[in-house]
Structure 1
Amino acid sequence: MEPANGRQGMPHLFSGLIASCLFAAILVGAEMVAVHLEQATILATAPELFSLKNQGLAFQRAAAHAAGVLPLYGSSELTAVRVPERANIFFHTAPTGFQVSPVGAEGTNSLNMLQKIGALGSDLRDKKVAISLSPEWLLTPGAWWLEVYKGNFSLMAASEMAFGTALNFELKRDIASRMLKFPSTLKNSPFLEFALKLLASGRWLDRVLFCVLWPAGKAQTTILELQDHFEAFNYIRHKLKPAPPRRLETLDWPKLIASVGGTKTTDADKVTIAPSLKEKASRGRRDVTFRNDMNASPDWINLELLLRTLARVHARPLVLSMPLPGDFYDQKGVSRSAREDYYVRLRTLVQSYHFPLVEFKEHDEDPAFLYLHRDHLTAKGWMYYDRALDDFFHGRLPRS
């Protein structure tokens, strides 16, 4: 005879299973509604740049799926100088058939970007995407950028990259090794830190252990994704601005560039040079230091990992690099031939992955291209960026 307590326990078990299935169905349904809403409002969210978009993935994923949106990943150039020519503003009405969706903030570097790209994974397959590089990252040695990297670190992107299936173990191993150099970003997620250590070791036993932990990692990323969708839903309900009306235009690029080409650098915009630098510098006297600093910069490793990630997810990127402020470097005693080494090294690296590159080196000594001799674009600089982005989106060879 079957024990009475066994018969009594069965209804509770079935009730629990039914409740769990119902709860899971509600979550799946809520996620589907959220994704639909994110995609339906993409024309309004694409041109905007806000923290949730930068730290989460919901709005980035919606942009990746939108045919008329070009994602643009960058750094402080996306926020520093608010001029009408800034790409997300210039293209916000889709004058040539597309909008630009900026992602980034001050201090965002290649290691931050690649985690987002790796997290999006197959969503970026065959998707055109633009990457804006700041030469400063590639010319400065040491780990001085730890704090700004930490400020742009996204736990969600890092978790999705680590536990997603878009990247192979070899690439994950190399990325994990870089991320572990900055353990302060992982102190609030010991589970992710442990998983990254398993990936970075390269030992087969650790790889097996990572596979054992993988379901728990996927569960964690699922929770983070649901939270991201909830916050995106809340943003759309309470903070979303109306979508700008689309207005097709025929752009006269030579005329547009000429309209900002006469931009003058005012006294307020000029960099104050210390008295010791005001003296006429010997041509090339700091070339050795410049080259040594460039060769010692850790961001070259991060950049190559970014390029490998873009290749692995089968994205179609355009790499943009702001030019060096050549007039400033001239005063510091860094010759054009030394600066050419930067352009050559960058082009060699990017072209090894068969990605198009526009580095705007023709504007190396144009004081009207960059603001305050920094990696921030002026109205003129943005107009050249805009033309390159428009060329790229429409299948033309991007011009510099």
Structure 2
Amino acid sequence: MTKKALFSPIICAFLALLLVILIPNSWIESLIPKSRVSQAATELNPVMFQGKYIQSKMLENNRYLPIYGSSELARLDAFHPSNYFQENYDGFVPFLVGRGGTISIIHFLNLAEHTDQLKGKKLVFVLSPQWFQPRGADESHFVPNYSSLQGYDLALNNKINPVVKKDAIKRLLHFVPVRDDQLLKTLYLGEISNDPWVKRKALLVKPLAYAYRGILEKKDLYYSIIGGTSRSREIKQTVKNKSWTQLQQLAAQEGARQATNNRFLVINSQYNKMKKKVPSLKGYKRGASYGRSVEYYDFQLVLDLLKQSGAKPLFISVPVNGPWYDYTGFTKQGRTSYYKRIKEQVQAEGYPIADFSNHEYDPYFMKDTIHIGWKGWVYVDKAIKDFYDNKTPQKSIQM
């Protein structure tokens, strides 16, 4: 094989890559299907969460109400907001943002990309007690949900309150993907250090950072052309034109049909996966508490960012499965201390919160040990509707 034959594929690949990078963003955007945003509303696609284009398009369209959360958003059933508001259209379409492990610091990075679009924007933020472990988010939850694009956008964003930005950077530097990215780490250290040489290094590499972010943005656009894989949804018209009382009854009936093989009222399919381990889990959480956690500080970053941006959020405080938590020895005090603290933290910023913490023992409010479902979604649907209709959060939890 001649040298020319050997290097020709390499040269062609390099030229092709160069061409892909040099194509104007506007050209790429013109290739993205107009239906991509509506498709992404329930796809729960990590590519969308970690990108920017689709969420930007969603936020500029008043048709969508973003709902930020984590794994509970994937519990798609007839009573889930995506189904309920499709069958009972009230002027908006829920747009789901989050998956398992999408904790406060990840939401902060995501929202920080869109601060200019959040002024006056209504949104819903679902809180999960299990985020509030004593040490906060760990690598196993952070790594799969971290976005380099969002990390660089934060570094190059000069509009965020400097104090909030520095606090966020200090927190992010605890995580391996950030520490291992030498370019990003240099930028971050330049933000928080008082050392002139460290700041000078950050200034020197900034042009490289802008160029690399440009590549990441282009990558996001190409992914937006391809789109994601649609999730199967249980579209049912049984929730259409029903009163809240009727919906509660239907939800309880559905829960009773699907949770029949255990005293914790966990959906059968989930309990079958954990059944063998249940005896060994009795009392294993003795002494645990969600009342003290690094996560409260990460969550405060979210609150500070929303306050600065002028967003209008509603927070949903989800309970845990009381019988299951009692069985594992997780004390009532360890739960109520969380409910109380998170409610006070939200209300201190003047935001409404739909607090469902008194539903720990409400049959079929939860679908498993930690995820809301069935009857719980009915309460959330009403809270969202009342919030969108500018009713008080107190009224939104009375059924």
Calculate the TM-score normalised by the size of structure 2. 0.78
Cα deviation for residue 196 of structure 1 reads: 1.5
Give the structure 1 partner of residue 144 of structure 2: 151
Unaligned runs of 5+ in 1: 1-22, 242-246, 279-284
User: Is the counterpart of residue 306 in structure 1 residue 306 in structure 2?
Assistant: no
Cα deviation for residue 229 of structure 1 reads: 1.5
The one-letter amino acid paired with 2:149 is M
Say if 1:220 and 1:46 are closer, same or farther in 2 by CA, change over 3 A. Answer: same
Q: Which of 52, 56, 62 is the equivalent residue of 2:47?
A: 52
Give the structure 1 partner of residue 27 of structure 2: 30
CA distance in 1, matches of 2:85, 2:297: 33
SS of the residue aligned with 1:341? helix
Cα deviation for residue 304 of structure 1 reads: 1.0
Give the structure 2 partner of residue 83 of structure 1: 77
CA distance in 2, matches of 1:332, 1:45: 38
- Check the 8 A contact 1:350/1:356 in 2, yes or no: yes
CA distance in 1, matches of 2:195, 2:104: 27
Give the structure 2 partner of residue 10 of structure 1: none
Cα deviation for residue 303 of structure 1 reads: 0.9
CA distance in 1, matches of 2:175, 2:69: 21
CA distance in 2, matches of 1:276, 1:33: 54
Give the structure 2 partner of residue 9 of structure 1: none
Give the structure 1 partner of residue 96 of structure 2: 102
Cα deviations by residue, 1:127-155 (Å, 9 ceiling, x for unpaired): 111111110111x2236731121111111
- Check the 8 A contact 1:71/1:103 in 2, yes or no: yes
Say if 1:338 and 1:231 are closer, same or farther in 2 by CA, change over 3 A. Answer: closer
- Count of aligned pairs between the two proteins: 357
CA distance in 2, matches of 1:334, 1:255: 34
- Check the 8 A contact 1:93/1:99 in 2, yes or no: no
Give the structure 1 partner of residue 340 of structure 2: 344
Give the structure 2 partner of residue 178 of structure 1: 171
User: Is the counterpart of residue 274 in structure 1 residue 271 in structure 2?
Assistant: no
Q: Which of 64, 70, 92 is the equivalent residue of 1:69?
A: 64
User: Is the counterpart of residue 126 in structure 1 residue 120 in structure 2?
Assistant: yes
SS of the residue aligned with 2:124? strand
- Check the 8 A contact 1:38/1:62 in 2, yes or no: no
Give the structure 1 partner of residue 252 of structure 2: 261
Cα deviation for residue 28 of structure 1 reads: 4.9
What is the aligned-residue RMSD (CA, Å)?
A: 3.3
User: Is the counterpart of residue 252 in structure 1 residue 243 in structure 2?
Assistant: yes
Cα deviations by residue, 1:19-57 (Å, 9 ceiling, x for unpaired): xxxx999615325636xx566653333233222212211
CA distance in 2, matches of 1:355, 1:370: 25
Unaligned runs of 5+ in 2: 1-19, 232-236
Q: Which 4+ residue blocks in structure 1 deviate beyond 6 angstroms? A: 23-26
Q: How does 1:282-297 map to 2 (within 5 A)?
A: 289-291=287-289, 294-295=291-292, 297=293
Say if 1:328 and 1:215 are closer, same or farther in 2 by CA, change over 3 A. Answer: same
CA distance in 2, matches of 1:335, 1:316: 34
- Check the 8 A contact 2:367/2:374 in 1, yes or no: no
Cα deviation for residue 277 of structure 1 reads: 4.0
Cα deviation for residue 98 of structure 1 reads: 1.0
Cα deviation for residue 359 of structure 1 reads: 2.5
SS of the residue aligned with 2:90? coil
- Check the 8 A contact 1:73/1:131 in 2, yes or no: yes
Give the structure 2 partner of residue 191 of structure 1: 183
Q: How does 1:327-342 map to 2 (within 5 A)?
A: 327-333=323-329, 336-342=332-338
The one-letter amino acid paired with 1:346 is I
Give the structure 1 partner of residue 311 of structure 2: 315
Say if 1:276 and 1:303 are closer, same or farther in 2 by CA, change over 3 A. Answer: closer
CA distance in 2, matches of 1:44, 1:93: 17
Give the structure 2 partner of residue 395 of structure 1: 390
Cα deviations by residue, 1:143-178 (Å, 9 ceiling, x for unpaired): 673112111111111211221233122211111111
Cα deviation for residue 315 of structure 1 reads: 1.6
Cα deviation for residue 323 of structure 1 reads: 0.8
CA distance in 2, matches of 1:329, 1:303: 24
User: Is the counterpart of residue 167 in structure 1 residue 165 in structure 2?
Assistant: no
Say if 1:393 and 1:166 are closer, same or farther in 2 by CA, change over 3 A. Answer: farther
Say if 1:311 and 1:31 are closer, same or farther in 2 by CA, change over 3 A. Answer: farther
Cα deviation for residue 260 of structure 1 reads: 0.8
SS of the residue aligned with 2:169? helix
Q: Which moved more, 1:269-278 or 1:354-363?
A: 269-278
CA distance in 2, matches of 1:240, 1:335: 40
Calculate the TM-score normalised by the size of structure 1. 0.78
CA distance in 2, matches of 1:235, 1:383: 30
Which protein is bigger by CA-based radius of gyration?
1
CA distance in 1, matches of 2:347, 2:194: 29
Give the structure 2 partner of residue 231 of structure 1: 223
CA distance in 2, matches of 1:184, 1:122: 27
Say if 1:275 and 1:77 are closer, same or farther in 2 by CA, change over 3 A. Answer: closer
- Check the 8 A contact 2:291/2:334 in 1, yes or no: no
The one-letter amino acid paired with 2:389 is H
